[in-house]
Amino acid sequence: MLELNEIKKSFGGVTALASVQLSVDDGEFVSLVGPNGAGKTTLINIITGALRPDGGQVLLDGRPLNRVPAYKRSRHGVVRTFQSPRMFRRLTVRENILASPRVHTGANNEDFDEIVEALQLTGRLDARTDELNVVDRHRIEIARAILMRPSLLLLDEPTAGMAESEARQVIDVISARQSAAGFGILLIEHNFRLVKEVSDRLAVLDFGRLIHTGPPAEVEKNERVLEAYLGKRS
């Protein structure tokens, strides 16, 4: 469904992405891992249209997206969350989840109730989001993203700030919803132990270069990955 061909991006002479080749199929769960500064968020920004690549091509279902603005990409089902959750702080949890027109037209009450309960937000629906902690704000953003009925869901560190048990619960909700709906996922996550349990494939970035991609069991044994991501050397 998603195909990235030779994606390149530099900032002031510093290479952020160097000829990245990556794909995500319908119903596939791909995790993008690597050290801080590897270029992971830059890649998601290019997929969503927040940034334009210096070279290469973004394709969705075979359609070139390079010149398609971000708002039109969302209409094609490209939905994302952010490292720092973005929402209307003075609005309630319910109002923030329903802020997207795609939620209004695409989700019924049963969907809403199910997702809100699964993400432990039921008792907070009437609270203003500026009264909540960052963990709950992540949950709100995830609920809104799922209820937008994505064809491709891009998750940028959705469990940041969460305890291990909280992170696992949230990832389990996302994974279960994906299994039911069949959308593709590209997840940025630093918890290697967690992502290898839920991912079909891992893609490892290091200094803007995709150094390895494959099943989790294969990736975690790769020497370049051990050196770059896990801090181990042979």
Interacting residues of 165 by C-beta distance below 8 A, sequence separation 6+: none
pLDDT at 108: 61
**Structure-token match 């997840």, residue found:** 187
pLDDT digits (tens, 9 = 90+) for 195-214: 989 999 999 999 999 999 99
* CA dist., res. 9 & res. 100, Å (int): 30
Higher pLDDT, 104 or 164: 164
141: its two tokens: 């953003």
- For 2-228, the fitting CATH number among 3.20.20.70, 1.25.40.10, 1.10.150.20, 3.40.50.300 is 3.40.50.300
Angle, helices 109-118/164-181, rounded to nearest 10 degrees = 150
Closest to 32 in 3D by CA, of 232, 182, 229:
229
Q: Flag whether pLDDT at 104 surpasses 70.
A: no
230: its two tokens: 């896990």
* CA dist., res. 146 & res. 79, Å (int): 8
Asked if 4 and 152 count as a contact pair (C-beta separation under 8 A), the reply is: no
Residue 213 pairs with which residues in a beta bridge?
Answer: 203
How many of the other CB atoms lie within 10 Å of CB of 197? 13
150: its two tokens: 């994505």
Opening angle at CA 30, ends 148 and 51, nearest 5: 65
Strand order of the β-sheet with 63-64 is: 14-24, 2-11, 55-60, 63-64
pLDDT digits (tens, 9 = 90+) for 29-76: 999 998 888 999 999 999 999 999 999 999 999 999 999 999 999 989
* CA dist., res. 71 & res. 165, Å (int): 34
pLDDT at 106: 52
How many of the other CB atoms lie within 10 Å of CB of 3? 17
Q: Flag whether pLDDT at 234 surpasses 70.
A: no
The model carries a pTM of: 0.92
